[in-house]
């Protein structure tokens, strides 16, 4: 009898442990020493995703130590976030490459994808789908965005067009859309042009959010200043984005090859 009770207690314990184990673990990198508007966004994003973690059942850990971008640490996490910054050393870059090439997940915001002729990290440009930073509007402004794929898990709760809060929008050359592996999910509507005052975006294809289907990755350009999380519509998408990456195993690459 005592043995049966022990087994029952053990079973109850393991059920509890199962119910409480996170669906996936997220490690979010940020920096306190970068542009003020980017630090502000990062701190708001941390608060936002800490809240989302509670109701979506994942674990969320922020760190401003980019040396945590190493193979040993990353082994415990299914998603890495770059909240407005990027690796600073060859070792950090190498650890990230290895992680992503072996099925890791990535969600990058705003300047996380910034690269130009001085970056000298060809793997990263290919990973992004080929886009190199070409220009931006200034000051930060709201913009109407168009949903490219309304059926996608990240965009399915969005209306066909919506007003995204004030942001500094980046344009890329070439456009990542030219890469056949890239699926663009949100695009800056052409009705926004000309956009800006000091720095003006006058036209061109401006993908705002996309995935390179060869990886478990998603990039979104939002991430400048303290207005980003003021839209319930967009916030829902931000939450859907992390859940989508977390719940996608290695299926993205396979799915894209089947098409």
Q: Which is nearer to Zn ion, 39 or 95 (CB)?
A: 39
Q: Does 177 bind Zn ion (CB under 5 A)?
A: no
Tell the smallest beta-carbon distance from residue 35 to Zn ion (Å).
6
What length is written for the chain?
Answer: 259
Q: How many residues bind Zn ion (CB under 5 A)?
A: 2
- Residues 219 and 183: their CA atoms lie apart, in Å, by 11
Q: Which is nearer to Zn ion, 183 or 224 (CB)?
A: 224
> Quick check: helix, strand or coil at residue 189?
coil
Q: Does 168 bind Zn ion (CB under 5 A)?
A: yes
Could you tell me if 187 and 148 are in contact, meaning their C-beta atoms sit under 8 angstroms apart? yes
Q: Which is nearer to Zn ion, 168 or 240 (CB)?
A: 168
Tell the smallest beta-carbon distance from residue 83 to Zn ion (Å).
12
Q: Which is nearer to Zn ion, 216 or 224 (CB)?
A: 224
Span of 7-15, 61-69, 162-170, 210-218 interacting with Zn ion by CB under 5 A: 162-170
Q: Does 240 bind Zn ion (CB under 5 A)?
A: no
> Quick check: helix, strand or coil at residue 69?
coil
Tell the smallest beta-carbon distance from residue 111 to Zn ion (Å).
6
Q: Does 183 bind Zn ion (CB under 5 A)?
A: no
Q: Does 224 bind Zn ion (CB under 5 A)?
A: yes
Alpha carbon 16 to its chain's center: 31
The upper half-sphere exposure of residue 182, i.e. CA atoms within 13 Å in the direction of its Cβ, equals: 21
CB environment 217-226: b (16+ within 10 A), e (fewer): bbbbbbbbbe
Q: Does 227 bind Zn ion (CB under 5 A)?
A: no
Could you tell me if 96 and 75 are in contact, meaning their C-beta atoms sit under 8 angstroms apart? no
Interface residues toward Zn ion, by CB under 5 A: 168, 224
């Amino acid at each position: 009898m005592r043995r049966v009770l022990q087994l029952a207690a053990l079973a109850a314990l393991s059920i509890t442990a199962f119910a409480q184990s996170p669906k996936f673990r997220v490690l979010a990198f940020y920096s306190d020493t970068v542009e003020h508007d980017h630090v502000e966004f990062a701190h708001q994003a941390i608060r936002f995703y800490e809240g989302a973690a509670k109701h979506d059942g994942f674990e969320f850990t922020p760190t401003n130590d980019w040396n945590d971008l190493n193979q040993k640490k990353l082994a415990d996490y299914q998603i890495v976030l770059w909240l407005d910054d990027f690796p600073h050393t060859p070792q950090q870059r190498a650890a990230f490459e290895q992680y992503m090439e072996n099925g890791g997940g990535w969600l990058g915001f705003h300047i996380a994808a910034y690269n130009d002729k001085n970056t000298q990290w060809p793997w990263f440009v290919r990973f992004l789908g080929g886009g190199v930073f070409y220009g931006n509007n200034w000051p930060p402004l709201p913009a109407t965005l168009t949903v490219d794929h309304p059926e996608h898990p990240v965009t399915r709760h969005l209306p066909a067009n919506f007003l995204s809060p004030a942001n500094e929008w980046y344009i890329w050359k070439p456009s990542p859309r030219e890469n056949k592996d890239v699926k663009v999910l949100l695009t800056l509507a052409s009705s926004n042009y000309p956009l800006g005052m000091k720095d003006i975006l006058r036209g061109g294809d401006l993908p705002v959010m996309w995935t390179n289907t060869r990886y478990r990755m998603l990039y979104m350009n939002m991430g400048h200043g303290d207005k980003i999380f003021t839209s319930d519509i967009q916030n829902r998408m931000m939450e859907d984005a992390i859940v989508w990456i977390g719940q996608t195993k290695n299926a993205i690459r396979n799915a894209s090859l089947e098409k």
